[in-house]
Amino acid sequence: MKKFLLLIFIVLSSVGCDRSRTGNTVLSNQLKDVKTFCIGRHSIALPESFVSSGGLTAVFIPVRAQSDDEEIEIQMSLVRSGISRSDFQNLINARKVEIVSEARERTGILRESRKIGEISHLFRIQIIDTSFLTEVHSLIGDSYYIAQSTSYQNKFPESEKKLQYFLGNIKPSKNGSDQSGFCLGEIDVHGQFEREYAKYSFSSSDFPGIVFGVEYDTYVPDPEESLLQRLNGPSSLLRAFAANNKVLRRGELNISSMQAEEWLSWIILGDDNAKYKKYGFALETLRRKPSIGQPQIHVELDAKNPLTDNLPPTNLSETEIISLWDSTTRSIRSRMSGR
């Protein structure tokens, strides 16, 4: 994923408002009262009022027994938390009605609907001809997850076998000294994979207009150009658009025993009638040899545009935004014992 394009697009397409105010003591207290969220095999601490927002999505590709075996991609998403069993059953019934109502003569046909154990339900949908989409809806604790995979040439039995094996290796996530599974909200995914990727988002009503985004990819190689090279090099969109911006800080640092780079800046957008200062911060780890202990972690802080995002402007000063960023990014830790 070309994250630098995403970051610059966010910066150039939306604006934030800097309304300086007193309140360093209040922020200082909020930064002391933090809550830890798991991200992959690491964790990150945010002020207690932050919650997971905007959905949680992940992609896993199980290790193939032989190199010529078909690659099967499993997509996992957290739909909602705080779900009762009766609510879950109602959602399953609604999904079945939706699939049936959207089917056409040769596409989107529901071929199987069955319960798996006590907490899961499988839907097999014929996309077209010999291509199928299999969805497994599960209630784990009070969280509603959907795992799905696509198969071709009528190979859905193999795909569903791997999908059910994948689900069988999911365990509730618990605090402890050694959590070696890949964390997605309230669960840990265990197993051997060729790819592990997840995207997380966090926001708080106490920090209006501020959103933290995290992308976590275990095995992806480092990009050819590092974060600083992408944002400050000749191909930088900031340079191409001659943007009215200021770099607050840029440089290298160490995050959870990994080398990393960060970029903190703002940009002035708008016209003579209304100008806004838009903040965009980013951090990205660098590692020569990707592994479960050395993943690519990409963190962004986005100060949302009150005009286009239907959100209030941030009420934090520049100093406070940087303090929030530093407190959050420096809290990243490994969840695995001995790392």
Whether pLDDT at 203 is above 80? yes
Same domain, residue pair 261 and 311: yes
Query: Which of 57-61, 70-74, 334-338 shows the lowest per-residue confidence on average (mean pLDDT)?
Result: 334-338
Same domain, residue pair 102 and 208: no
Instruction: State how far the Cα of 193 lies from the Cα of 202, in Å rounded to an integer.
Output: 26
Same domain, residue pair 37 and 145: no
> Could you give the number of structural domains in the chain?
2
Whether pLDDT at 10 is above 80? no
Same domain, residue pair 74 and 172: yes
Tokens of 255: 């995050």
pTM: 0.86
Same domain, residue pair 176 and 209: no
Query: Which of 58-72, 172-186, 206-220 shows the lowest per-residue confidence on average (mean pLDDT)?
Result: 172-186
Mean pLDDT, rounded, for 277-302: 94
Whether pLDDT at 61 is above 90? yes
**Identity of the amino acid at 206:** D
**What is residue 209's predicted lDDT score, i.e. its pLDDT?**
86
Mean pLDDT, rounded, for 220-248: 82
Q: Look-up: residue for tokens 């200021």?
A: 246
Is 57 among the domain residues? Answer: no
Residue 77's domain spans which residues? Answer: 69-181
> Final residue of a domain: which of 124, 148, 181?
181
**What percentage of the chain carries pLDDT values higher than 90?**
65
**What is residue 17's predicted lDDT score, i.e. its pLDDT?**
34
Same domain, residue pair 210 and 330: yes
Same domain, residue pair 161 and 225: no
Residue 26 CB partners (closer than 8 Å, separation 6+) = none
Phi, psi of 301 (to 5 degrees): -110, 125
Is 157 among the domain residues? Answer: yes
Whether pLDDT at 232 is above 90? no
Is 190 among the domain residues? Answer: no
Q: What is the CA radius of gyration of the chain?
A: 22
Same domain, residue pair 285 and 163: no
Q: 99-151 pLDDT, tens per residue?
A: 999 999 999 999 999 999 888 999 999 999 999 999 999 999 999 999 999 99
Is 42 among the domain residues? Answer: yes
Instruction: State how far the Cα of 199 lies from the Cα of 213, in Å rounded to an integer.
Output: 7
Same domain, residue pair 149 and 214: no
Is 189 among the domain residues? Answer: no
Is 30 among the domain residues? Answer: yes
Q: Kindly state the DSSP code that residue 65 receives in the 8-state scheme.
A: S
End-to-end CA distance of the chain: 27
Is 198 among the domain residues? Answer: no
Q: How much is the mean pLDDT over the chain?
A: 86
3-state secondary structure of 268: strand
Same domain, residue pair 42 and 75: no
> CB–CB of 284/296 below 8 Å?
yes
CATH number at residue 76: 3.40.1000.10
Mean pLDDT, rounded, for 159-181: 82
Same domain, residue pair 82 and 131: yes
**What percentage of the chain carries pLDDT values higher than 70?**
83
CATH number at residue 39: 3.40.1000
Whether pLDDT at 47 is above 60? yes
Instruction: State how far the Cα of 212 lies from the Cα of 309, in Å rounded to an integer.
Output: 15
